[in-house]
Structure 1
Amino acid sequence: MTDTPKGPESYFPSIEKKYGRPIEEWKALIRTSDLNKHMELVNWLKADHGMGHGHANALVAHTLKESGT
């Protein structure tokens, strides 16, 4: 039996389905962005990529946590 993802990762399947890109691609976009503050990145994903707030927030939180920011 597989573990059900918790926290930000629980959004990943629906993000991939809704926005048509793999999570690693989204995380690469976040990492290469000139922005570095959490809410700046969330607002950028919402404005430039049409992402909903919850999905953007989950991606940014997970990506920044991975990079230790």
Structure 2
Amino acid sequence: MTDEPVKGPASYFPSIEEKYGRPITEWQAIVREHLPAKHMALVAMLKDKHGMGHGHAHAVVAHTLAEKG
């Protein structure tokens, strides 16, 4: 393990889980259910259907899509 702080989209995950009441794995599952939609369509879906803020939605989508790589 490393003591370096988490960077990138994952740095938002603790506040996303606290604010929206679901673990990141559930948010990622929601994103995956809407694939193969494009990045910004997925961000809009999280914002419109789940009330997520733009930065938080972008972080979840970016991290989820990067994992598919």
- Give the alignment's TM-score, normalised by structure 1: 0.91
Distance between the aligned counterparts of 1:35 and 1:17, measured in 2? 28
* Number of residue-to-residue matches in the alignment: 68
Aligned residue number for residue 14 of structure 1: 15
Unpaired runs of 5+ in structure 1?
none
Aligned residue number for residue 39 of structure 1: 40
Distance between the aligned counterparts of 2:3 and 2:18, measured in 1? 20
Task: Give the aligned residue type for 2:42.
Answer: L
Aligned residue number for residue 62 of structure 2: 61
Distance between the aligned counterparts of 2:59 and 2:30, measured in 1? 14
Q: For residues 34 and 9 of structure 1, do their structure 2 counterparts lie closer, same or farther at Cα, with a shift above 3 Å needed?
A: closer
Aligned residue number for residue 23 of structure 1: 24
Distance between the aligned counterparts of 2:21 and 2:43, measured in 1? 18
Q: Answer with 48-57 or 28-37: which moved more.
A: 28-37
Instruction: State the identity as a percent.
Output: 63
- Give the alignment's TM-score, normalised by structure 2: 0.91
